Amino acid sequence: MKDNLDNNKTDLLVSAAKSAVGVVPIAGSLLSELVANLIPNQRIDRLSKYVKELDDRLSKIPTEKINSLLNNDDFIDLIEEGFVQASRAITDERRRYIASIVSTGITDENIQLNESKQLLKILSELNDIEIIWLRSYLVPTIGGDEEFRQKYKNILQPIHTYIGSDEETMTKAALQNSYKEHLERLELIDHNIRIDSTTKMPEFDNFTGKPKKSYSTITTLGRLLLKQIGIIDELNQR
């Protein structure tokens, strides 16, 4: 019966997706075949991996604890949101982050279920590069965290621009800045503005026209997110 249910769900996914791409006049037939033969199986495979990851974590939680939450709307919403995000997750690492928030939300007495759902929402707004940048602010000391910074050197290496910079450099710098600004908008990091010692006014970058930043720090919310997705625990276990 379970196999039939899975097949029915797959058929519905295929039908809906094929209807959407079938209206494309030239590539429609090709896209339809890709949807039918590739996308649903990818989604099912992602969910299958996520379920295994989540089951491994939930198996460590007392059964009575989980049973007591089965009629809790916040619990159901959290589980449902986890599945929605897992169906889109293309890496095992991202699926681990999602499973960690869901399972920790059940066991952490300091975090409510609806607060865990909010953390899932924040996670959904971050791409993998932004998570690496957020993690980089966890150890702010110069020369610290060398293993991590070396591993992600190609991402974390500052990209500076100046008048006359080529377009590729400017594009990469703009993207790098966008990651940091997004983290700030989500209140995961704080940028501290550089103040002129003479005028006591903010200093501005002549190239961008924006205030210069002296240093950046991770916020309480940013640290909480890293804890809930398991990154801080992994760091402490090294």
Determine the Cα–Cα distance for residues 220 and 42; give it in Å rounded to an integer: 36
Task: Say if CB 44 and CB 6 are below 8 A apart.
Answer: yes
Lowest-pLDDT range of 24-38, 69-83, 209-223: 24-38
Most confident among 17-21, 68-72, 125-129, 198-202 (mean pLDDT):
125-129
Could you tell me the maximum CA-CA distance found in the chain, to the nearest angstrom?
76
pLDDT value of position 33: 56
**Do 104 and 170 have their domain in common?**
no
Placement of tokens 């897992």 in the chain: 86
Task: Say if CB 229 and CB 123 are below 8 A apart.
Answer: yes
* Phi, psi values for residue 195, rounded to 5°: -110, 130
**Do 191 and 116 have their domain in common?**
no
**Do 66 and 113 have their domain in common?**
yes
**Do 150 and 207 have their domain in common?**
yes
Please check whether residue 94 lies inside any domain of the structure: yes
Please check whether residue 132 lies inside any domain of the structure: no
**Do 150 and 91 have their domain in common?**
no
Domain containing residue 4: 1-37
Predicted model pTM: 0.75
Angle among Cα 77, 66, 47 to the nearest 5 degrees reads 55
Mean pLDDT confidence for 5-17: 44
Q: Give SS3 for 4.
A: helix
